[in-house]
Amino acid sequence: MRRFRVGLPSQGTRLDLFLASACSDLSRSRIQKLIEEGAVRLSGSPARRSRVVRAGEEIEVEVPEPRPVEIEPEEIPLAILYEDEHILAIDKPAGLVVHPSPGHDSGTLVNALLHHVRDLSGIGGDLRPGIVHRLDKDTTGVLLVAKTDQAHASLSRQMKKRLLEKEYLAIVSGFPRVRKGEIARPIGRDPRDRQKMKAFRATETPPAGSREARTLYEIEREWPDLAITLLRCRLVTGRTHQIRVHLAAAGLPVVGDPVYGRPRFDRVRDPGLRRALTGFPRQALHAERLGLRHPATNERMEIVAPLPDDIGRLLGMLDATRSAGRGPL
């Protein structure tokens, strides 16, 4: 049981705001839920969150122990990029699903985290890791996890205010019209295939549920003779499949993308390279860098995930083909 006495400077403050300041380890939404559940008593009686506190009043807050979740911990290896008592950043491999779902009730990142993380304090009253953002099953790179309610609230707030800096590397077929630019098209469900997303042109009327989407990009490396480009993309918004959908809509499909890609590579003559490109087993998309403010210290942080082996090998083949095409100097 936590007990507080309202001081004169706090008089006139709403109860939920007072507790948000007094209980720094709990998010405001968690505090509001505790109030609704009757776990907060003001001068001995259950209180409403809109109640204004008065100097001298006593507040009792009963915070129950986090509830175990019905997800089994599993010993799945994780590549840890950063960890402390507040947050964890992993280098997600291709093929790892983030959340349990129909058809994926085990072998997910959440199963692995429940085994790995021994100091969870709970998110929203449940003993579970707080997944701040997601990566598609076959996208690799930095994925950030909150260990505490406070960290989850801080990181979610940073994401909502677009303060998290997320940069990706993508190998694409084709050339952008400019070396550095922006793709700004709303994204929603494709009316012809509800399993896919679609970026809508200005001349189209997006269906209900579509949302603003913006992707910044610039050329990192290029192979003009092959019509292949390595792009650095930065998300301004974070929609489902955003980079893949935006690049495909711009005529720059991601190599290996089974849903929005499938380029023909007509200018690639080397048979080995053509096989590597057409047979690349996943989208060649890697979440390389994440910039954030640490939820406890407010210090600026940057977490970087190294290129995965499969993308590194493909880039090596592209460079080797370019070098071979130059001939003797």
- Which residues are CB-contacts of 213 (< 8 A; sequence separation ≥ 6)? 184, 185, 186, 187, 199, 237, 239, 242, 245, 246
Element holding 194 (H helix, E strand): strand 193-199
Q: What's phi and psi for 113, nearest 5 deg? A: -65, -40
Fold: same for 67-160 and 165-326: yes
Confidence of residue 328 (pLDDT cuts 50, 70, 90): very low
Q: Which of 16, 105, 126, 136 is labelled catalytic? A: 136
- pLDDT, tens only, 229-266: 999 999 999 999 999 999 999 999 999 999 998 788 99
Domain boundaries, the chain: 2-61, 67-160, 165-326
The mean pLDDT value for 110-135 works out to 73
> 67-160: which CATH architecture?
2-Layer Sandwich (3.30)
Confidence of residue 15 (pLDDT cuts 50, 70, 90): confident
DSSP per position, 54-66: -TT-EEEE--PPP
Is 91 a catalytic site residue? no
**CA–CA separation, 267 vs 278, rounded Å?**
13
Does the domain spanning 2-61 belong to CATH 3.30.1390.10? no
- pLDDT, tens only, 181-204: 999 999 999 988 888 999 999 899
Q: Which CATH class is domain 165-326?
A: alpha beta
Tokens of 324: 């071979």
AA identity, residue 177: R
- pLDDT, tens only, 289-305: 999 999 999 999 999 99
